Amino acid sequence: MRDPDGLLARAGVRGDPNADQHFLVDDRVLDRLPEYATGIGADLTHVLEIGAGTGALTDRLCRVADHVTAIERDRDLVSFLRREFVTEIEEGRLTVIEGDALDVSLPEFTACVSNLPYGVSSRIAFRLFPEKRPLVLMFQREFAERMVAEPDTPEYGRLSVSAQHYADPEIVETVPKEAFSPPPAVESAVVRARPRDPEYTVSDEAFFLRFVKALFTQRRKTLRNAIRNTGHISGLEEPEAVVEAADEGLMGRRAGTLAPAEFAALCELALERGDPE
């Protein structure tokens, strides 16, 4: 397999913390990332990689996947990838796309394994989650811990509810700063997310996510007050009607204590009574 330090040298680049550019160079971590996907029997017919960099992970993915699509926004790195992986490209095993993963059209992928750019990792993750495909993604450790948090814990919040609405996320590895060049300011963690349908039903998913976001903007307040105060975010025209129709005990709780299924039930009540936009 290609040596990550050798790839950096051939590419003639150095990471730039100011540009959120940290290259994963630890061989052991790189080797394990594809294994987290194969370990759950993920379909590797077409693997998507976002933020390919100099191709250290790309190289390993090409060895286990039928086809890899690598997205990279840095034009110089795209040129390097197309030179370095010319054989894989000519054999039809790799496609390199130049562009921002938030803007380009995503291919029909069967799994995604990526070391995401941390500055936009949340936005990219929530572009991937609705695709309902197995994901193995590198995040800042704090972000990862919030994604997998349980109700009534300090880390639990909008991110936890939204991620767990789409999948069962788990932290499979924490990664030290020294695994990157240059080292970031924080530790990282690998999250593996297995897609699943939730055990509850929401009739309007967009409203559900907006409603959860609204209530967590006032997580220190009771749900009674949070619903009343966030109609401009949730889009509820009649928040008071929701409060009056809801269980009194529930209204005395705070957003951080509700499981996703409880949010879903409250969301359905809000849709029925709150006259959302």
Question: Alpha helices of the chain — where are they, by DSSP H?
Answer: 4-11, 27-38, 56-62, 75-84, 86-90, 121-128, 141-147, 158-166, 205-216, 223-229, 231-234, 239-245, 248-251, 260-273
Helix (H) or strand (E) holding 170: strand 167-175
Whether 57 contacts 113, CB under 8 Å: yes
Q: Would you state the structure tokens that stand for residue 208, as one six-digit string?
A: 């559900």
Q: How does the average pLDDT of the chain come out, rounded?
A: 96
Q: d(Cα 65, Cα 100) in Å, to the nearest integer?
A: 23
CB 49 within 8 A of CB 69: yes
Query: In this predicted structure, what is the pLDDT of residue 193?
Result: 98
**Residue 236 pairs with which residues in a beta bridge?**
276
Look at residue 64 and give its three-state secondary structure. coil
> For the segment 227-270, what is each residue's pLDDT rounded down to a tens digit?
999 999 999 999 999 999 999 999 999 999 999 999 999 999 99
- Model confidence pLDDT, tens digit, residues 97-141: 999 999 999 999 999 999 998 889 999 999 999 999 999 999 999
**What confidence score (pLDDT) does residue 201 get?**
93
